[in-house]
Amino acid sequence: MTKEGIRKALSERQKRVEDPRGFVPAAVLLPLFEKGGDYHLVFTKRTETVNYHKGQFSFPGGRTHPEDKSLLDTALRETWEEIGLPPKDADVLGELDDIATYTTGFIISPFVAMIPFPHTFIANPAEVDEIIEVPLPILRDKKNFAQEMLEVDGRPIMQYFYHYRDHVIYGATARIVKHFLEVVGPAGSVGKTG
């Protein structure tokens, strides 16, 4: 699938918006780039010193600040702060559905953006332990995926897990990945560029 094909897939759907009452608004960016004929997503491993989701893999992002004009501004600002990607280098292709984090009380608005490759990322040591680039075919491969029904605050929630090398991507980030892969098309159409 081409970049424009991804943009079209994202634009031709109605975004599901969560009821924000009782939740803190937040936004993340799914940085996507092409390398060697495959698309890759950029993830960050959070430090053990951040307030939420310590040591977990996530997309760059965070809660809104008063100076942010929109949730997209939040995603772009946080991405700049966490991995050194200037907002001008993010070609925003569209949005995914809101994701609620019931244990920490956020509603996350995910934005998908193509970014230049190669790019030198600069991890903010206060927030980011590691930056990884995961090829989409790895995320599409069923042997790297697992799911399990768990009870979270008394409600059953399906949890997803993506395995890459010795890393496990789970929680809200895995739900965002799964949704992204569903929106952009069947296994044969995304992952490979062109």
Residue 192 DSSP class: B
Look at residue 51 in the predicted model and tell me its pLDDT. 62
In a domain, 190, yes or no: no
Residue 1 pLDDT greater than 90, yes or no: no
Choose the weakest-confidence range: 71-80, 96-105, 124-133, 143-152.
Answer: 96-105
Residue 67 DSSP class: T
In a domain, 128, yes or no: yes
Residue 61 pLDDT greater than 80, yes or no: yes
Q: How far apart are CA 107 and CA 22, in angstroms?
A: 9
In a domain, 60, yes or no: yes
pLDDT averaged over every residue in the chain = 90
Residue 97 pLDDT greater than 60, yes or no: yes
**Residue span of the structural domain in which 62 resides:** 3-135
Please, which residues have CB within 8 angstroms of residue 109's CB and are 6 or more apart in sequence? Answer: 25, 26, 27, 28, 71, 74, 75, 95, 98
Q: How far apart are CA 39 and CA 76, in angstroms?
A: 20
Residue 53 pLDDT greater than 90, yes or no: no
First to last CA, the chain: 6
What is the pLDDT confidence band of residue 50, given thresholds at 50, 70 and 90? low
What is the pLDDT confidence band of residue 105, given thresholds at 50, 70 and 90? confident
Q: How far apart are CA 47 and CA 24, in angstroms?
A: 21
29: exposed, middle or buried (C-beta count within 10 Å: 0-12, 13-18, 19+)? Answer: buried
In a domain, 146, yes or no: no
In a domain, 113, yes or no: yes
Residue 188 pLDDT greater than 50, yes or no: no
Report the domain count for the chain.
Answer: 1
CATH assignment at residue 55 = 3.90.79.10
In a domain, 184, yes or no: no
Residue 187 pLDDT greater than 70, yes or no: no
In a domain, 185, yes or no: no
Q: Which of 124, 102, 106 is nearest to 46 (CA)?
A: 124
Cis bond upstream, residue 118 (ω within 30): yes
In a domain, 189, yes or no: no
